[in-house]
A and B are shown apart, each in its own frame.
Chain A
């Protein structure tokens, strides 16, 4: 008998865990053995990714831009890409390997994924064209925006100020309309398309 309180479920087999537990941690744990270079990545990317993400990972139409946008995060319209924004390389490998290409996920081999990630880094000018990414050098790679994130600081910056009895009368001398949605006119006609 097992120690579990209810004795429900059954033991997960190692090959079952291996099939489903494919996440990669920021320190590289979870990566399979393998390797891929920029040149190979360019070919795989052209075949499997470029129709949406562009030949140079610059994005087609509304599809996500994967490269560029460095130092735009404080701009009026930041360009958040793998290069300019993503803090960990592990996430790139993990997400591409599990969920891309869109509509054909989980079809990339480990080596193809290493190659694609190497090509995305090259597209972001973060490596030279002879770069090869592997499970061995993966953890050494430092992303551009690794230090760009702070843990939720609403408690200090917001909650401490906004837990006060609010004004009820004469809260401001006057009020004016400063912006109107009808000026933009981007709401779907007739209240939008029914999606039932």
Chain B
């Protein structure tokens, strides 16, 4: 294909997109034959890209809006900041790594496998140093888990603030991890020196300047925590902790220490900055909860939502969303179209995995009238996702973290959706 052909092909495609939009919307009532069908299209005649063109591909250009976004005013510096997964545009449960949210405290660092070291020390029989290839020689496991920032939805405590599911609920991703149970590594170092494990802790920290040190009780460390080096089949992305991160199923994302470099067995919690100044939740009487590790059951309707208006008019409508719980499996999601007066039980895309995102659908018929859409998750412990008012009654408005309230989208008669609170 010569240069000129390429140019003309590109401009032709541009025109076709607009045309396709019209014909999709009008397909059911078309009076004239659709030229996209009756005329031979360029892609049905000429050739496409060769297999040698893209050794590692990115999404097609038409999907360029499905990207991470940030909100500048949230933080003082983009180096210690957050961005948001475009959950409004995704489906299923697995988050593509390339648009999975980031949260760093001193930036995303570049750490080669050759330079990687992991130390285990403290109350262990044999303080050890592993290099990366040592880790790949331990027996591995695969698990899918959500990683939700403790601050997800945190800007919404005092009211409806950001207009889009990406911004209100997008500090989350869900990946299939491959790694070694932390328990295996602790056993390699030997825990006899720690004595009674009941009141023991592991302190975990990263190789970056912020270190992000956190204390984890030994019971959790020996349960399901993973030292992971693959996500969604490939190496971790740099921004997600390459080459090794901690996976702490069901627990707040801050504890999922990236670029993991040290695990120390201790006889008390370190009470580091990230578990005193941050990741503690202030009540309205001024006292604060600490060690609020678990992320409670939560859900959000991803479409329709402010970034995903209804554009097809009345008739069949798929209401789609995500539900998850740090306590185990999602067993049920109810959806309301009238702001919580009445509820219908939605259909789960597939049976919920423990501590992982679960997709739900409500296949409904839209009559063109305004709706107040809500979703309400239930998990296998019987916990029912609360309203924001229920949460505020217990906690006030300054908790910052752990806002798992029911979200409301107001959808008007034009199908445009807005983030609102309701009585």
CB distance from B297 to the nearest CB of A (A): 9
Contact of A85 among B209, B213, B277, B284 (CB under 8 A): B277
Contact of B163 among A91, A175, A187 (CB under 8 A): A187
Residue of B nearest to A191 (CB): B307
Q: Could you tell me the distance between the alpha carbons of A88 and B164 in the complex, rounded to whole angstroms?
A: 38
Asked if B80 CB lies within 8 Å of chain A CBs, one says yes
Q: Could you tell me the distance between the alpha carbons of A163 and B280 in the complex, rounded to whole angstroms?
A: 24
Q: Is the pair B261, A154 in contact by a Cβ cutoff of 8 Å?
A: no
Query: Chain B residues near A23 (CB, 8 Å)?
Result: 203, 205, 213, 264, 270, 272
Residue of A nearest to B397 (CB): A76
Asked if B342 CB lies within 8 Å of chain A CBs, one says yes
Q: Is the pair B420, A78 in contact by a Cβ cutoff of 8 Å?
A: no
Query: Chain B residues near A21 (CB, 8 Å)?
Result: 119, 121-122, 262, 264
Residue of B nearest to A98 (CB): B211
Asked if A140 CB lies within 8 Å of chain B CBs, one says no
- Of A7-15, A42-50, A115-123, A126-134, which binds chain B? A7-15
Q: Could you tell me the distance between the alpha carbons of A99 and B210 in the complex, rounded to whole angstroms?
A: 5
Q: Is the pair A148, B262 in contact by a Cβ cutoff of 8 Å?
A: no
Asked if B154 CB lies within 8 Å of chain A CBs, one says no
Query: Chain A residues near B80 (CB, 8 Å)?
Result: 102
- Of B14-22, B187-195, B310-318, B348-356, which binds chain A? B187-195
Question: A152-B290, A170-B342, A180-B160 in contact; A11/B277 too (CB < 8 A)?
Answer: no
CB distance from B336 to the nearest CB of A (A): 8
Q: How many interface residues does chain B have, given as a range?
A: 35 or more
CB distance from A18 to the nearest CB of B (A): 10
Query: Chain B residues near A102 (CB, 8 Å)?
Result: 77, 79-80, 106
Question: A149-B280, A187-B164 in contact; A158/B268 too (CB < 8 A)?
Answer: no
Q: Is the pair B70, A180 in contact by a Cβ cutoff of 8 Å?
A: no
Asked if B386 CB lies within 8 Å of chain A CBs, one says yes
Q: Is the pair B421, A5 in contact by a Cβ cutoff of 8 Å?
A: no
Q: Is the pair A73, B128 in contact by a Cβ cutoff of 8 Å?
A: no
Q: Is the pair B161, A177 in contact by a Cβ cutoff of 8 Å?
A: no
CB distance from A27 to the nearest CB of B (A): 8
CB distance from A168 to the nearest CB of B (A): 5
Q: Which residues between 106 and 141 of chain B lie within 8 Å of chain A, taking CB atoms? A: 106, 119-122, 125-130, 134, 137-138
Q: Is the pair A154, B292 in contact by a Cβ cutoff of 8 Å?
A: yes
Map CB proximity to A onto B129-165 as digits: 1 under 8 Å, 0 otherwise. Answer: 1100010011000000000000000000001111110
Query: Chain A residues near B69 (CB, 8 Å)?
Result: 188, 191-195
Asked if A86 CB lies within 8 Å of chain B CBs, one says yes
CB distance from B348 to the nearest CB of A (A): 17
CB distance from B83 to the nearest CB of A (A): 5
How many chain-A residues does the 8 Å CB contact rule pick out? 84
Asked if B41 CB lies within 8 Å of chain A CBs, one says no
Question: A192-B69, A192-B70 in contact; A181/B418 too (CB < 8 A)?
Answer: yes
Q: Is the pair A4, B421 in contact by a Cβ cutoff of 8 Å?
A: no
Q: Could you tell me the distance between the alpha carbons of A43 and B159 in the complex, rounded to whole angstroms?
A: 43
Q: Which residues between 132 and 167 of chain A lie within 8 Å of chain B, taking CB atoms? A: 148-154, 157-159, 162-164, 166-167
Q: Could you tell me the distance between the alpha carbons of A67 and B276 in the complex, rounded to whole angstroms?
A: 16
Q: Is the pair B125, A150 in contact by a Cβ cutoff of 8 Å?
A: no
Residue of A nearest to B88 (CB): A191
Q: Is the pair B271, A87 in contact by a Cβ cutoff of 8 Å?
A: yes
Query: Chain B residues near A5 (CB, 8 Å)?
Result: 184, 187-188
Asked if B235 CB lies within 8 Å of chain A CBs, one says no
Contact of B188 among A4, A25, A94, A196 (CB under 8 A): A4
Question: A9-B134, A175-B372, A181-B420 in contact; A99/B211 too (CB < 8 A)?
Answer: yes
CB distance from A116 to the nearest CB of B (A): 15
Residue of A nearest to B121 (CB): A17
Q: Is the pair A25, B286 in contact by a Cβ cutoff of 8 Å?
A: no
Asked if B177 CB lies within 8 Å of chain A CBs, one says no
CB distance from B338 to the nearest CB of A (A): 7
CB distance from A9 to the nearest CB of B (A): 4
Map CB proximity to A onto B12-47 as digits: 1 under 8 Å, 0 otherwise. Answer: 000000000000000000000000000000000000
Q: Is the pair A150, B288 in contact by a Cβ cutoff of 8 Å?
A: yes
Query: Chain A residues near B343 (CB, 8 Å)?
Result: 166-169, 171
Contact of A8 among B137, B164, B205, B378 (CB under 8 A): B137
Query: Chain A residues near B5 (CB, 8 Å)?
Result: none
Sample of 5 A–B contacts (CB below 8 Å):
A9-B129, A149-B287, A171-B342, A186-B161, A194-B69
Q: Hey, which bits of chain A sit against chain B, CB under 8 A?
A: 2-6, 8-12, 16-17, 20-21, 23-27, 61-64, 71, 73-74, 76-78, 80, 82, 85-88, 90-91, 94-95, 98-99, 102-103, 105-106, 148-154, 157-159, 162-164, 166-172, 174-182, 184, 186-188, 191-196
